[in-house]
Amino acid sequence: MTRRDLYSTPRWRKLREAILARDGHRCQIRLPGCTGQAREVDHIVPVEHGGAWWDPANLRASCARCNRSRGAALTNRDRARALRELRGRDDPCRVWPHLEPGDPPCPRCGTAPPSRRW
């Protein structure tokens, strides 16, 4: 099943509506030019970078404009920080990336830091 196919499944449509309702149909990204009215759902940590497709903690309501431009405006580090804040707990080991170059390995999960900045 392709990514495009996943967006048309009943499971995704139900989850999308739940996320929009949870966030009050208000855009959670709020970049310059934001319309404020959320009609889309954004993966905070992109699936291709290890973000969970179906995890509500990795999803937020967004307007189309912010959802299309957030990749250029937010770094992966910002997305990881936003996901930790959204979860309401400090659980960086479940979020990619959670280490900076030069950091020691994570004491909780043993992940080594990246050799250079992404």
Instruction: Using the Cα atoms of residue 8, residue 27, residue 96 and residue 109 in order, give the sign of their dihedral.
Output: negative
Distances (CA, A) of 115 to 10, 96, 102: 41, 15, 8
**Considering the domain 3-94, what is its CATH architecture?**
Orthogonal Bundle (1.10)
pLDDT in tens, 29-38: 888 899 999 9
Q: The tokens of 110 are what?
A: 């043993």
* Chain segment 4-13, per-residue pLDDT in tens: 788 889 999 9
Q: What is the pLDDT of residues 44-83, one digit of tens each?
A: 887 777 788 899 999 999 999 998 886 655 566 666 676 6
Its pTM stands at 0.60
CA distance 103 to 98: 10
* pLDDT category of residue 107 using cuts at 50, 70 and 90: low
